[in-house]
Structures are given as structure tokens and as C-alpha cells.
């Protein structure tokens, strides 16, 4: 089945130790998003890739970076995780472009990050 897969489901990292979260998709969608979701809150968009074009949200801290080596994969790098970065990180994809009318996002199951 075509889907969005995030690995790992649970990640524990040490305070200040770089960590990378992974996302892959078989939907062949041209847009990939990273969201941060804290408990009882709505997902907060960190950034997205439109094809190879990186789009950062104005309030995303510099501590968060992303890479998209190809259409299928996207990575979220947290350079120096702090306690406040503990959250669920959600990857999503969309298909945008000429002739595409709906832009709903398809989500992975998320990676729960714990910082110790």
C-alpha cells in the first residue's frame, strides 16, 4: 500500500546530542512537510519541501534542519535537542501542481521524541 513511513516510532536522545528522524513515502508526492506536535496541541508546521525547494517557517528555530535527498525521503535533523524539543514529530506529504485541486496532507504515524 502506498503510504508515509516514519522511523523510528520512538526515539530517545540525550540533551544536546544531534538526532535525525526519517520519513519515506511511496505516494510519489512532490511536497513533504515536517510538523511538531506537543501534547494537546495542534500540529505546528516547521518547514516543507516543494520538490527540492526548501521552505522554512518564520518561527522555526535554527536548531531544526531538514534534508530531502530525493522524492521519497526526507529527514529532520535536530542539532542540539533541548528538553523543550520533546514532542511528536509528524511527516506528511501532498501532491501540488497544475490541475491539482485538493491539497490534503497524508501523514505518517509520527516519531515520539524524548530528550533526557
Contacting residues toward another protein, per CB under 8 A:
4, 6, 31, 40-43, 45, 48, 50, 55, 88, 90, 92, 94, 96, 101-110, 112
| Alpha carbon 45 to its chain's center | 8
Phi-psi region of 65 (alpha: psi -120 to 50; beta: other; left: phi over 0): beta
CA angle (84, 66, 10) in 5-degree steps: 50
Between 63 and 95, name the residue whose CB sits nearer to another protein.
Answer: 95
Nearer to another protein, 19 or 105 (CB): 105
Residue among 63 and 109 whose Cβ is closer to another protein: 109
Residue 89 phi, psi (nearest 5): -110, 125
End-to-end CA separation in angstroms for the chain: 36
Amino acid at each position: 500500500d502506498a503510504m508515509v513511513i516514519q522511523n523510528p516510532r520512538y526515539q530517545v536522545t540525550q540533551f544536546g546530542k544531534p538526532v535525525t528522524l526519517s520519513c519515506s513515502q511511496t505516494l510519489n508526492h512532490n511536497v513533504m512537510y515536517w510538523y511538531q506536535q506537543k501534547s494537546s496541541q495542534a500540529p505546528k508546521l516547521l518547514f516543507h519541501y516543494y520538490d527540492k525547494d526548501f521552505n522554512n517557517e518564520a518561527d522555526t528555530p535554527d536548531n531544526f534542519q531538514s534534508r530531502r535527498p530525493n522524492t521519497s525521503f526526507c529527514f529532520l535533523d535536530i542539532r542540539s535537542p533541548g528538553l523543550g524539543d520533546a514532542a511528536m514529530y509528524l511527516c506528511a506529504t501532498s501532491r501540488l501542481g497544475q490541475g491539482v485541486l485538493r491539497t490534503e496532507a497524508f501523514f505518517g504515524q509520527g516519531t515520539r521524541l524524548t530528550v533526557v
